[in-house]
A and B are shown apart, each in its own frame.
Chain A
Amino acid sequence: MTTTAKPKFAMYWAASCGGCEIAVLNTNEKILDVDANFDVVFWPVAMDAKYKDVEAMEDGSILLTLFNGGIRNDENEHMAKLMRRKSKILVAFGSCATEGCIPGLANLSDSREMVHTAFTTITTDNPHEIYPMTSYDVPEGEIHIPNILPMLKTLAQVVDVDYYMPGCPPESAQIAAVIDLVIQVVQGKAELPPKGSVIGAGNSTVCDECKRTRNVKTIKAFNRIWGIAPEPSLCLLEQGIPCNGPATRSGCKARCPKAGAQCIGCYGPADGVEDYGARLISAFASVLDAKEPEEIDRILDGLVDPTGQFYRFNLAGSLLKAAVPAWKKEKA
């Protein structure tokens, strides 16, 4: 660095749960390194700052922005574009920003239906069916709230993204490693990986990190995790437990399978996997011990929600991105 001023750091959340911020704080004392090496200019969850402050900054003046959350409304979209303009390095941070995650599951239905569900069903006491309005006249003037978009989009579907950091949330040790790397880059001791890389994760699959034994065994039925006590050293998929390990990116040290729970796929698709769900369909189809269509159907009946199973985290980032109701408004 030519100047003595510290490089600027920002973190923003769009449609997310806040778990990514907690994961950052879970790096414990590593967070002090961030403060020691960076000037934190914008981080709504941790400090008070206004959008206007960011808008007033010079373009490209923020060195590193960690952007978590999907793009669900026009405010998210505006902030994604703003942060892109103001940042040198924009990282899609966490599953929502990289692949849509849980908020992306709303892409399975019409967004109007989603709004109806949120405002008129059991979750909300709303006897007069009052819906929020995007603009409203009050004596003081017109006030606005963000307008919801028809589909949740990933950050890369809206702006150019430099790096992807998967995980729901990213593991704290991985975040700490990335923070270390960026600090070394700032000090001129390391080089940044090529643009578009996945950082803070492995390149292979969760199966590669999983210590359980695989015997190329096939199954006659799927089991739900609450239905059986899994044998502690055998592959979960071979025990009939729908484990997403074969398609999921490594980087978590196979935490869930280690604890006896199936991988649900929060680290997203591994290297070379173009469509996460399609890869899992291949993997699951390979372990079924059946040749007759009726028998195959009987086994598959045990897999209660295949779409949810295969796209829990990856729907918005998948090839199809959303279900027909989200596309075809005239049919809704």
Chain B
Amino acid sequence: MTNSFEPTIIGFTCNWCSYRAADLAGTARIKYPPNVRLIRLMCSGRLDPTFVFKALANGADGVMITGCHPGECHYIEQNYKALRRFQLMRRTLQGFGIEPARIRLVWASAAEGARFASEVSSFIEEVRALGPLHWGKNDNVSSALTEAPIKKEEVPA
């Protein structure tokens, strides 16, 4: 099953560092798997946790959040806000039975194209190993009571 499984990853990048890192990876012709769909935000601090929940609910197998290194945010310290949201989000998603490894936070500066590519590759492999998430695909599972073991002979007459 996992051999043919290609994970769908949604990646959020910030305009000033990590998107440029992805750009650099492209111009430097560094290869990484095509599973990640990048969405550019102005800042990792713009990342509303709703984006992540929506991505997962609509079929993403993993979500990657990227931003400038701590201390290097274009908007002073919004990447710290992203970090706090990320850590709280991961705990909350755990309650939904979603493995923490399915969301990853990566800092990458505009000069780190190679690092960006290797983080994407390793994240894809990690999610591939976890298997598909397939949120909501099993909506039509049969109901509980009929599946429960029933000891008919024990029902008092």
A contact residues vs B (CB 8 Å cutoff): 74, 108, 110-112, 114-116, 128-134, 136, 147-150, 274-275, 277-279, 281-282, 284-286, 288, 290-291, 293, 296-297, 300, 303, 305-308, 310-311, 318-325, 327-329
Contact = CB atoms under 8 A, between A and B. Distances in A.
Given A133-B145, A275-B49, A320-B135, 20 more contacts: A108-B97, A112-B147, A115-B144, A130-B154, A132-B145, A134-B146, A147-B146, A150-B142, A274-B50, A278-B48, A278-B52, A278-B89, A281-B49, A281-B92, A285-B85, A291-B70, A291-B77, A306-B91, A306-B95, A307-B94
Interface residues of B, number: 46
Contacts of B97: 108, 323-325
Interface string B69-100: 01000000100110111011101101111100
Do most interface residues of chain B lie in helix, strand or loop, or is the interface mixed? helix
13 contacts: A74-B143, A131-B149, A134-B146, A148-B143, A277-B49, A278-B48, A285-B87, A296-B87, A306-B91, A310-B92, A320-B96, A321-B136, A327-B137
Interface string B10-48: 000000000000000000000000000000000000001
Contacts of B48: 278-279, 282
Contact of B143 (A150, A290, A305): A150
B88 A320 contact: no
Contact of B96 (A279, A282, A323, A329): A323
Given A131-B149, A149-B143, A285 B136 contact: no
A299 B131 CA distance: 32
A133 B95 contact: no
B84 A288 contact: yes
Contacts of B88: 281, 284-285, 300, 303, 306
Given A130-B154, A300-B91, A327 B138 contact: yes
A114 B50 contact: no
B134 to A, nearest CB: 8
Contacts of A291: 70, 77, 80, 83
B9 interface: no
Interface string B123-157: 00000000001111111011111111111101100
B145 A319 contact: no
Contacts of A306: 88, 91-92, 95
Given A282-B48, A291-B70, A293-B83, A275 B53 contact: yes
Contacts of A285: 81, 84-85, 87-88
Given A281-B88, A285-B84, A148 B95 contact: no
Given A115-B145, A329-B138, A296 B83 contact: yes
A128 B143 contact: no
B154 A324 contact: no
B88 to A, nearest CB: 5
Contacts of B81: 285-286
Given A290-B84, A329-B138, A108 B49 contact: no
B106 to A, nearest CB: 13
Nearest to B147: A112
A185 B89 CA distance: 45
B57 interface: yes
A117 to B, nearest CB: 11
**A-B pairs with the 9 shortest C-beta distances?**
A307-B95, A324-B97, A278-B49, A111-B144, A285-B84, A278-B50, A285-B85, A319-B57, A281-B49
Contacts of B143: 74, 111, 147-150
Nearest to A111: B144
